[in-house]
């Protein structure tokens, strides 16, 4: 049963917990004010789809200005190898350096120790938990078909 400060999106029999204390981006990252910066990480929905993250690499540096959807990194999981894209425009202030040595906190504590990076000067769209859940509900059927390889249906 979800608490008052979170929503649950059911991915079949798996729960994707969506804390209400942060925003969510179209590319399945969360963002939350952290001092002077905005901290970003993967939503539980993204972590469930990726499953075990075992490698993370950044293609940009701390201090770089990035554009919305700019290629910023690379991730390898038990399911796939994928590029990572900026969830909004802004300045990348700091990476969670610990994840470069051991990315397991992404799998175990994605809303805490598994955060990815911090940004300042951000510009872009961010949804609240209800809006993000509605987006997941609207796209879940298509996501399932894609995962099963039935993208032409």
Q: Give me the average pLDDT of each 10-residue run along the chain (153 residues).
A: 84 94 96 96 94 93 97 92 95 96 95 98 93 95 73 48
Q: Look at residue 147 in the predicted model and tell me its pLDDT.
A: 67
Whether 129 maps to a domain, the answer reads yes
Domain containing residue 125: CATH number: 2.40.50.100
Whether 150 maps to a domain, the answer reads no
For residue 77 the two structure tokens come to 């999981």
Output the pTM of the full model: 0.91
Q: Look at residue 151 in the predicted model and tell me its pLDDT.
A: 47
What 8-state DSSP symbol labels residue 26? Answer: T
Whether 152 maps to a domain, the answer reads no
Q: Which of 65, 53, 41, 54 is nearest to 113 (CA)?
A: 41
Whether 151 maps to a domain, the answer reads no
Whether 58 maps to a domain, the answer reads yes
Question: Distance between CA atoms of 28 and 132, rounded to whole angstroms?
Answer: 9
- In the chain, the number of structural domains is 1
Whether 153 maps to a domain, the answer reads no
Whether 127 maps to a domain, the answer reads yes
Which residue range is the domain that position 32 belongs to?
A: 6-142
For residue 64 the two structure tokens come to 């770089």
């Amino acid at each position: 049963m979800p608490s008052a400060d979170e929503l649950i999106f059911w991915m079949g029999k798996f729960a994707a917990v969506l804390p209400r204390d942060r925003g969510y981006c179209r590319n399945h990252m969360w963002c939350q004010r952290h001092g002077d910066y905005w901290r970003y990480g993967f939503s539980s929905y993204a972590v469930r789809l990726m499953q075990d993250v075992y490698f993370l690499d950044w293609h940009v540096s701390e201090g770089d200005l990035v554009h919305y959807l700019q290629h910023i990194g690379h991730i390898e999981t038990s399911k796939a190898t994928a590029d990572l894209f900026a969830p909004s425009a802004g300045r990348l202030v700091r990476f969670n350096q610990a994840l470069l040595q051991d990315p397991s906190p992404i799998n175990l504590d994605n809303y805490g120790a598994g955060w990815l990076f911090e940004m300042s000067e951000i510009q872009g769209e961010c949804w609240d938990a209800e809006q993000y859940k509605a987006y997941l509900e609207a796209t879940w059927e298509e996501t399932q078909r894609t995962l099963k390889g039935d993208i032409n249906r």
